[in-house]
Amino acid sequence: MDGVDADVLDAVARWQARGDDVLLATVARTWGSAPRPVGAMMALAACGRIAGSVSGGCIEDDLLAKVAGGFRPGLRPHVQTYGVTADEAHRFGLPCGGTLELVIERVTPSSGLDAMREAIGHGRLGVRELDLRTGLARIRRVTEPAAFGYTPMRLTVPFGPRWRIIVIGDGQLTQHLVTMALPLGYQVVICDPREIHEVTRDTPRSVHVTHAREMPDDLIVRLRPDGNTAIVALTHDPKLDDMALLEALKSEAFYVGAIGSHRNQASRRERLAMFDLSAAQIARLHGPVGLPLGARTPPEIALAILAEITALRNGVSSAISVSHLQGTRECRARTA
């Protein structure tokens, strides 16, 4: 579940407080290309308002028309499939070969959405299990990120922070990075032991943001980064950044990056080679950090960093991303 879906739950709470009848649609299954992943949610109020999305817009319009026409699931959730035929896929704006299956339920006190929203607000991991035969839901707390599940009898939707970014340094760039990372569903840990940063900047306040003043290497050892963790060193201080990288590059983090020019990165790699890091571990370092977008300002650099992290998180290698950008530039140059 990402930050967009958390916003859907907030909208449901507002609409229900006004007495509106609310439906919740969840992407349960996709075939071929699909605009939104399984687990994505959209809420529809009887008054015609929507929050979230399950497609590029056409399916939302169809659901709104159904609701306006009096469509309401009973106690048992309704399963709706879009894109079974090529003509239908085209009509609803689905990519070629795309098919989408939605579970549509009427929101009631038994839906468990209030408990789910409260758990998300406290940064807890959990799952919502919806019985497709009765419409009753159960909220269950978990200690590790859970998987999405869908059977003819049950819909299981995980929620809470599944991804984490550890940021070394609490400067202006970090502020922008955190602001962009939160809607993408990241839990953020900011580490800066320098006294000048004891009173931190105006970093966005959230239960998904924590601050640490211990030394970076100690923090990384303590947090034991897993394959859902990205680590970014942004202090411009070789002592702190290198200290973090020595542990980060040995961890299971899926992304390790450091700010600095190509020249500084070359010097950094030489320094790291003097310690107990293998050539393969040093080669994991992304530096200069972020995709080569020509970024200059802190917001642009933050965007470049998160673009590269997002590419790797979604299984797109940085090399592919870079070659695509270069190809785009060459294409523009030829047509200019």
Tell me the pLDDT tens digit for each residue of 257-289. 999 999 999 999 999 999 989 999 999 999 999
Q: Which domains does the chain have, with CATH numbers?
A: 3-159 (no CATH), 163-322 (3.40.50.720)
pLDDT the model gives residue 195: 76
**Residue 324 reports pLDDT greater than 70:** no
Listed residue (84, 158, 93) closest to 126, CA to CA: 158
> Which range among 82-91, 175-184, 216-225 shows the weakest confidence by mean pLDDT?
82-91
Listed residue (242, 274, 254, 13) closest to 118, CA to CA: 13
Nearest 5°: phi and psi at 261? -70, 170
Share of the chain above pLDDT 70, in %: 85
pLDDT the model gives residue 336: 45
Burial, 213: exposed, middle or buried (Cβ in 10 Å; 0-12, 13-18, 19+)? middle
For residue 270, what are the contacts with CB-CB under 8 A and spacing of at least 6? none
**Residue 33 reports pLDDT greater than 90:** no
pLDDT 10s digits, 203-252 = 666 767 899 999 999 999 999 998 989 999 999 999 999 999 999 999 99
For the chain, give the mean pLDDT: 87
pLDDT the model gives residue 101: 94
pLDDT the model gives residue 197: 54
